[in-house]
């Protein structure tokens, strides 16, 4: 999956409306979309207390369209905010402890935290410590981020981060994204080593290579920073019961605020955790019987990506999510319905990709939205009919 709204910070449901390359919006610097501002909130430790979550849902209903959009960096967005309400929303977020008063620090707080942390464990402790050291980090492009992922096996491997703290077979390592091995550290040395690596990266970034993996493709790390092999990533997390609670899904990362309030209240949850997987972890909770959420791990909607499309994004000439919902059950692989060739909702190739253009869709198999389409100018009804009647291969 990608990270702007799950794509861009890869937008999980929010389009990258800015034309500024590398620009990454936050609450202080919202994106402007066709339906108003898209305000991104970065909860510390990827957690919202029940009170914060309920209040955030209230704000989404009061100032936005009544939805929270999950991003691929485990952030959350309220969209459709009238520009005149932005200051009031910021004040409310600050009152909930969900806003850095310093916009520069907020911009640096690109920290992915493995959502299964327990209070007092290594992931929790190092995440808190990193929040305290944000001021020691160098200036970096807005999309550069960090992952604290110290469970038995890394679970954030597929999520966007440039510098990662995780485990090897023998202890903690600090690993540059794109490297197969990391630098052995202990809890006391992890943060100084991370800050060293961030400065190393900052000194090598150019306008052409703005992320760690791009830098490593052209120059090696110091040998002592990559002599501890990383562990294989954990299997992709699935919807259902987990240690610490229950994972539930949100189609396209789009969460109905009223439905989330119902779930929190019905289960008297202490809080929820945000993930980069279009899922929420209900702390100590159980899968709810609420149709607003996906509770079947095999639900085809969890294999489908679709950006907001028309009329929400000015770059789109087609609706995306209605077609994606209708098509998903007929496709056994992954599906990407993109409002345009930018492909905000998914960077990785999908088994079937539909790209909106001039009110119709171009189509390709095993590719990305920016690739050359195989078939052009299809009407959505014709595409759906073909998949429904299996006149196109369901697994192209």
- Enumerate binding residues for ligand SF4 (CB under 6 A): 15-16, 307-309, 313, 315-316, 338-340, 342-344
Q: Helix-strand-coil percent breakdown of the chain, rounded to 5?
A: 30, 25, 45
**Residue 5 or 201 with smaller CB distance to ligand SF4:** 5
Numbers of helices and strands, H then E, in the chain: 9, 23
The distance from CA 47 to its chain's CA centroid, rounded to whole angstroms, is: 14
Assess contact for 313 and 306: CB atoms under 8 A. Answer: no
Residue 343 CB, nearest approach to ligand SF4 (Å): 6
**Residue 93 or 307 with smaller CB distance to ligand SF4:** 307
Residue 310 CB, nearest approach to ligand SF4 (Å): 7
Q: Name the strand (E) or helix (H) holding 386.
A: helix 380-388
Residue 81 CB, nearest approach to ligand SF4 (Å): 17
Instruction: Determine phi and psi for 111, rounding to 5 degrees.
Output: -120, 115
Q: Residue 132, SS3?
A: helix
**Residue 157 or 305 with smaller CB distance to ligand SF4:** 305
Report d(CA 37, CA 50) in Å as an integer: 25
**Residue 16 or 73 with smaller CB distance to ligand SF4:** 16
Residue 345 CB, nearest approach to ligand SF4 (Å): 6
Give residues with Cβ within 8 angstroms of 139, minimum separation 6. Answer: 202
Residue 340 CB, nearest approach to ligand SF4 (Å): 3
Report d(CA 52, CA 49) in Å as an integer: 5
Residue 143 CB, nearest approach to ligand SF4 (Å): 16
CA distances from 187 to 44, 176, 393 (A): 20, 17, 51
Token output for 108:
């640096």
Token output for 347:
């960077």
Residue 298 CB, nearest approach to ligand SF4 (Å): 27
Report d(CA 249, CA 240) in Å as an integer: 9
Instruction: Kindly provide the b/e burial profile for residues 210-230, where b requires at least 16 CB atoms within 10 angstroms of the residue's own CB.
Output: bbbebbbeeeebeeebbebeb
**Residue 127 or 347 with smaller CB distance to ligand SF4:** 347
**Residue 168 or 315 with smaller CB distance to ligand SF4:** 315
Q: How many CA atoms lie within 13 A of 258 on its CB side?
A: 6
Cα 175–181–185 angle (5° rounding)?
Answer: 55
**Residue 109 or 342 with smaller CB distance to ligand SF4:** 342
**Residue 192 or 311 with smaller CB distance to ligand SF4:** 311
**Residue 288 or 339 with smaller CB distance to ligand SF4:** 339
Strands (E), 214-326: 228-229, 240-242, 245-249, 254-256, 271-274, 279-283, 304-306
Residue 67 CB, nearest approach to ligand SF4 (Å): 15
Residue 243 CB, nearest approach to ligand SF4 (Å): 35
């Amino acid at each position: 999956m990608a990270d702007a709204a799950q794509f861009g910070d890869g937008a999980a449901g929010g389009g990258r409306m800015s034309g500024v390359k590398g620009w990454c919006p936050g609450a202080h610097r919202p994106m402007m979309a066709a339906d108003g501002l898209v305000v991104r909130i970065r909860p510390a430790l990827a957690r919202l207390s029940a009170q914060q979550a309920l209040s955030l849902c209230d704000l989404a209903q009061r100032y936005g369209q009544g939805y929270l959009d999950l991003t691929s960096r485990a952030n959350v967005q309220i969209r459709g905010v009238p520009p005149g309400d932005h200051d009031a929303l910021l004040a409310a977020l600050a009152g909930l402890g969900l806003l850095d008063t310093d916009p520069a620090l907020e911009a640096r707080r690109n920290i992915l935290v493995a959502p299964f942390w327990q209070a007092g464990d290594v992931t929790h402790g190092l995440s808190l410590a990193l929040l305290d050291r944000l001021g020691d980090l160098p200036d970096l492009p807005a999309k550069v981020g960090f992952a604290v992922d110290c469970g038995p096996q890394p679970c954030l491997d597929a999520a966007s981060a440039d510098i990662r703290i995780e485990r090897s077979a023998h202890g903690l390592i600090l690993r540059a994204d794109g490297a197969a091995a990391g630098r052995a550290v202990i809890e006391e040395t992890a943060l100084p080593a991370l800050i060293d690596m961030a400065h190393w990266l900052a000194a090598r970034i150019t306008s052409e290579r703005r992320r760690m993996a791009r830098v490593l493709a052209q120059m090696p790390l110091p040998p002592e920073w990559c002599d501890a092999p990383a562990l294989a990533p954990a299997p992709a997390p699935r919807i259902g019961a987990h240690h610490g609670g229950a994972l539930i899904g949100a189609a396209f990362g789009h969460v109905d605020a009223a439905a989330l309030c119902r779930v929190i209240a019905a289960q008297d949850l202490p809080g929820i955790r945000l993930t980069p997987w279009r899922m929420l972890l209900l702390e100590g909770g159980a899968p709810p019987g609420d149709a607003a959420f996906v509770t079947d791990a095999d639900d085809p909607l969890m294999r489908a990506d679709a950006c907001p499309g028309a009329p929400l994004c000015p770059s789109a000439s087609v609706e995306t999510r209605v077609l994606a919902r209708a098509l998903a059950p007929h496709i056994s692989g992954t599906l990407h319905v993109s409002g345009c060739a930018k492909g905000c909702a998914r960077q990785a190739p999908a088994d079937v990709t539909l790209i909106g253009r001039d009110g119709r869709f171009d189509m390709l198999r095993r590719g990305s939205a920016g690739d050359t389409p195989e078939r052009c100018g299809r009407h959505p009804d014709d595409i759906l009919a073909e998949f429904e009647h299996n006149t196109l291969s369901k697994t192209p």
